[in-house]
Amino acid sequence: MKIIGPDVRHFSRYSIDEPYPSPPPITHTDRSDILQALAELRRQAQREDDGHRERQEPSPPTPDQTKTPPRAEFPDGTAKSWVFRRVLELGWTPQLFAEFDATISSRGREGHKPERFGKKYQWIALRELLARIADNYHPRRQQGDAENTYRGAWQIHGRDIDPTLPPAPLLSSTPRQTRFDTTFSSDDSQRWWLPDGPDYSRSDPPADSDWAARPDGIVEIQPHLKRFAPDGSAWVVLHSTHNWEEEDPLGGDDPDRNRRQQWSHIYSWLVTKPDTASVYEFLSETSLMGRWMPEGLSPTSVVYLGEMPWGAAANEYPQEWDTGHGGKTLPRPVYPTWTEYCWESVVLDCSIDESVNAWMPSLELFEAGKLTWLPRTRQWLDADGRVAAQYFETTDRKHAALVVLESWLKNVLASAQWSLIFGHLGEKQLFSSNDSQPGLAGDWTEIDTTAVLYGSGRWKLGNTRTELRHLE
């Protein structure tokens, strides 16, 4: 099992009952060796740049390579022997499994594939070994590392499945392949959360070349901010992405007809009550294009859905109040209202065929509103047991939204002395249907709008701003 070595080498052989020894200081000789190694690498690079490719000689070892203390990393051999013994103890024998295992062909080192029973026993044993090592030994430190504390398996990429996800419905199963439906089914008939948008029908006359440059028919912000459920309850959209596009049923075989498209995103941020006016005024005059505003955290295949957003794994790099980046700076810091969950299907988790996504309220909003997760769903409950936040997406994933109960949100904002700033960003574009010349077919329109929901419950909507963008 080739993965054993890299996994156990995350740890040392220094017991947690003893202090991790300080690394020896780098001597003058060590520095000279490092400088010589760097000089040789530069000479090799220069010779290759000049067209003189030579047989690659091994690079001179650095002091860190030649003077690694014997207990600095957990030994591979010890780990492999332990895993082998444990596999036998767990019940794998050639008499029971060898014939079946021989029928499972190797498909490279990809993760998403059928595996032998023997390999599955090895995974079980390896995970048990890692747990034992983590409980008893210090994490390994590289030269120059500060103190390294082990807090969980996410730090060593040791989470292969999310046990908090409900089982994906089984579609079919054969000895060679198992197929699953999406983990969370999307009921496209229940679209109350989805605002009306343009309908770009293929039966319409072809669009003029300047269609995207005209600011008519653009999506406005108001219907994107508040939606009403069938029971009459009002819901506020914290984050959404929408994409309306003209289908191309001919698959690029109609090069004379360009495709219309309009996309629209809603973002929102917490801002303290005294800072609301200055932030709103700044954003009312500044485009959101370029993703310079703070965005919610988006850990991938690291955090379980059931521990978002409060778990330690979700806060390895905590969300902070921020003023933006990329050359634009807000006058006062804001805090994104959403955080993203994503569990990919292309890694070692063979229980899903499609990645699972969700947005939920970010940590400050989550804790201030006393939310808890409703297991096996993408919904979160308030202190009274009502659904106060939920995530929706369409089957084709062209539309998705995180919505929260308006009454719950207003109470949280008022209690915490916050306001909620909204940003609406979108584009109206025309794309070529010619596969030999893909891309934009002309100038297009950029759309920006700002809004605010005060702690008092009052709304304020800014004017829609459009700007013509030119195709270079």
Q: What is the per-residue pLDDT across 357-384, written as a single tens digit (0 to 9) for each?
A: 999 999 999 999 999 999 999 999 999 9
Q: Which of 9-18, 364-373, 401-410 has the lowest mean pLDDT?
A: 9-18
* 412 and 263 within one domain: yes
Is 198 a domain residue?
A: no
Average pLDDT over residues 186-213: 87
pLDDT at 65: 47
Pair 249, 363 in one domain: yes
pLDDT of residue 125: 95
The distance from CA 218 to its chain's CA centroid, rounded to whole angstroms, is 29
Same domain? 336 vs 218: yes
Among 9, 373, 317, 344, smallest CA distance to 159 is for 344
Residue 273 sits in the same domain as residue 126: no
Question: Residues 151, 230: one domain?
Answer: no
pLDDT tens-digit readout, 86-134: 999 999 999 999 999 898 876 655 666 778 899 999 999 999 999 999 9
pLDDT average, residue stretch 441-449: 94
Nearest to 235 by CA among 39, 350, 26, 387: 387
Six-digit token pair at 142?
A: 């590289």
Would the pLDDT of 29 be above 80?
no
Asked, for residue 100, whether it belongs to a domain, the answer is: yes
Residues 235 and 153 in one domain: no
pLDDT band of residue 145 (cuts 50, 70, 90) is low
The four Cα atoms 450, 341, 147, 12 give a dihedral, to 10 degrees, of -160
Q: What is the mean pLDDT of residues 234-259?
A: 82
- Kindly state whether residue 21 falls inside one of the protein's structural domains: yes
| Domain around 347 | 211-469
pLDDT of residue 158: 87
Q: Which residue bears the tokens 């490092």?
A: 34
Which pLDDT tens digit goes with each residue over 154-183? 998 888 899 999 999 999 887 777 889 999
User: Is residue 142 located within the same domain as residue 245?
Assistant: no
| Residues 113 and 222 grouped into a single domain | no
CA distance 400 to 327: 29
Rg, the chain, Cα only: 28
Mean pLDDT, rounded, for 418-423: 98
Asked if residue 43 belongs to a domain, the reply is yes
User: Is residue 164 located within the same domain as residue 291?
Assistant: no
What does pLDDT average to over the chain? 88
Residue 98 and residue 39 share a domain: yes
pLDDT at 138 exceeding the cut of 50: yes
Sorting pLDDT into bands at 50, 70 and 90, what band is 66? very low
Residue 327, class by beta-carbon neighbours within 10 Å (0-12 exposed, 13-18 middle, 19+ buried)? exposed
Of 152, 171, 190, the residue at which a domain comes to its end is: 171
The domain boundary residue, chosen from 107, 142, 171:
171
The amino acid at 295: E
- How confident is residue 255, by pLDDT bands cut at 50, 70 and 90? low
pLDDT of 147 above 60: yes
* Nearest C-alpha neighbor of 385 from the set 403, 363, 408: 408
Picking from 114, 145, 171, the residue at the C-terminal end of a domain is 171
Do 112 and 249 lie in one domain? The reply is no
Res 63: pLDDT: 47
Phi, psi at 188, each rounded to 5°: -70, -10
Q: In the block, which residue shows the tokens 């993408």?
A: 378
What's residue 447's pLDDT?
96
331 within a domain of the structure (yes/no): yes
Residue 292 domain flag: yes
- Give the residue-averaged pLDDT of 210-234: 94
Co-location of 159 and 222 in the same domain: no
**Cα–Cα dist 284/45, whole Å:** 51
Q: Is residue 200 part of a domain?
A: no
- Please count the structural domains in the chain: 2
Q: What is the pLDDT of residue 204?
A: 87
Q: Which of 186-190, 413-417, 439-443 has the highest mean pLDDT?
A: 413-417
pLDDT reported for residue 454: 96
Whether the pLDDT of residue 64 is over 60: the answer is: no
192 lies in some domain: no
The confidence band for 43, taking pLDDT boundaries of 50, 70 and 90, is confident
